[in-house]
Amino acid sequence: MQSLCLYHFRRFILSFHSNHSQADKLPTPSLLNFFEFISHIEQILSTPFRLICLNLEGPPSDTMKAKPATRTEAMMEISMRDLLTVLHGMGFGALFMLAFSGAIAEFYRMSAPGAPAVPTPREHRLLMIYLSTMVVLAWATVFSGAYVIYPWYRAVPPAGLTDLANYPQRLLMSSRNTSGWHSLGMEWKEHVAWLAPIAMTMVAYVFAKYGPALSRQRQIRNAVLAFTVVAFVATGIAGAFGAFLNKYAPVRGGTAIHLMTGE
């Protein structure tokens, strides 16, 4: 841009000199010195302090031709692996965790002294739908983690590769300060976290099997409440480990998805 400005400025000076050199006797050496000064200014011009010359006519020479102005685009993008990791943890997993509050509160209410002897059919139906939704979220969480995210996490790098940013497991195990996140955190997610969907499936099955009669089976109600709490604890710990694992060794890569573009 500044080359275009200086080109037109030089043309103006040359035209002025050729038209007025006879009348005004402008000294050519002074004009050459001025051109040297302009060239020096052109070299030290920084990006924030540029001459902006628009709507100027006349093509510059090949050596001074300015590049066409480009528009700066602000993008918000996410990779496919990042998106599926967020869906696994903040989608299925977070919704599953939030749903525990309602399930535990309802089972505790049913087991508490003075609770209604038999829930109404509408209450039973609503709670059955609620528990079924929790079961779907629980299995969606573990299946997406085990069969979608986990293979990317355990990817084996090529021999001799030193940049392990795209190989989370090997990146964690490469340092003694982070190896525990794999040996404890990921092992918990691999094994113990499966208790959550198994326990919630059992809870939903027992509730569906006994129906309103569950209110008269105190021991079974207590067992259902206990398994719900176990599933909640297993899920909470797995979610915490997953958050830290994604901080120290995130699963990255895949196709870039543009969520927002602007000019």
Distance of CA 42 to the CA centre of its chain: 43
C-beta separation of 222 from 111 below 8 A: yes
Name the residue type at position 117.
A
Query: 48 or 15, which is more confident?
Result: 15
Average pLDDT, the chain: 78
pLDDT tens sequence across 53-68: 434 344 544 444 555 5
pLDDT tens sequence across 187-233: 999 999 999 999 999 999 999 998 878 878 888 988 999 999 999 99
Query: 261 or 78, which is more confident?
Result: 78
Residues 6+ apart with CB under 8 A from 61: 7
Please give the full DSSP string across 167-204, using - where no structure is assigned.
-HHHHHHTSTTTHHIIIIIIHHHHTGGGHHHHHHHHHH
| pLDDT of 139 higher than 50 | yes
Query: pLDDT > 90: what percent of the chain?
Result: 49
pLDDT tens sequence across 8-32: 555 545 554 555 445 444 444 454 4
| pLDDT of 246 higher than 60 | yes
- Compute the chain's Rg from CA coordinates: 35
| pLDDT of 168 higher than 70 | yes
Mean pLDDT of the 79-86 span:
93
Query: 100 or 52, which is more confident?
Result: 100
Q: How far apart are the first and last CA of the chain?
A: 20
Backbone angles phi, psi at 75, to 5 degrees: -115, 145
Res 82: pLDDT: 93
Query: 169 or 259, which is more confident?
Result: 169
Quote the tokens at residue 188: 């918990």
Res 262: pLDDT: 65
| pLDDT of 163 higher than 50 | yes
Please give the full DSSP string across 15-77, using - where no structure is assigned.
HHHHHHHHHH---HHHHHHHHHHHHHHHHH--TTS-----S--SPPPTTTPPPPP----EEEE
Please indicate, yes or no, whether the overall pTM of this predicted structure exceeds 0.95. Answer: no
Mean pLDDT lowest among 2-11, 151-160, 210-219: 2-11
Q: How many helices (H) and strands (E) does the chain have?
A: 11, 2
- pLDDT confidence bin for 160, thresholds 50/70/90: confident
